[in-house]
Amino acid sequence: MAHPGLVWSNLHLQLGNLLLLCITETDLHAVIKKGSLLKDIHKRYILYQLLKATKFIHSGNVIHRDQKPSNILLDADCFVKLCDFGLARSLCQMEEEQSSPALTEYVATRWYRAPEILLSSRR
């Protein structure tokens, strides 16, 4: 999967030991902690990019399962990179593995869990 808003490597899936470094100025968690650094237009731009990146991975039947501010990298131009796909899963792969539930309850950081995980949805 290639998208400008993703830090993703197909080699990671094949090699397992690949270390991929993406140099950005900060992450969204640090920006939020600092306070009012962003104007409304910047917030909308960040959200727009994040939604585009999320739509892209969902179109490939992949779910991130750990989207949180510290996994959203930002550069000085407010360009977003979604990172940390360590908990990501392919929906196609999960459908093939019928012995395990599609969504486990304990994956994402507690405060950023999706409603379907909190409600123990099977799909």
β-strand pairing of 80-82 with 72-74: antiparallel
Query: Which CATH superfamily does the domain covering 10-87 fall into?
Result: Transferase(Phosphotransferase) domain 1 (1.10.510.10)
Instruction: Give the residue extent of every domain in the chain.
Output: 10-87
One of 27, 40, 66, 75 is an active-site residue; which one? 66
Which residues pair with residue 26 across a beta bridge? 74
Give the tens place of pLDDT for each residue, 84-119: 887 788 888 766 666 655 556 566 667 777 676 677
66 as an active site residue: the answer is yes
Q: How far apart are CA 24 and CA 77, in angstroms?
A: 10
Q: How does the average pLDDT of the chain come out, rounded? A: 77
**pTM tops 0.75, yes or no:** no
Tell me which amino acid residue 58 is. Answer: H
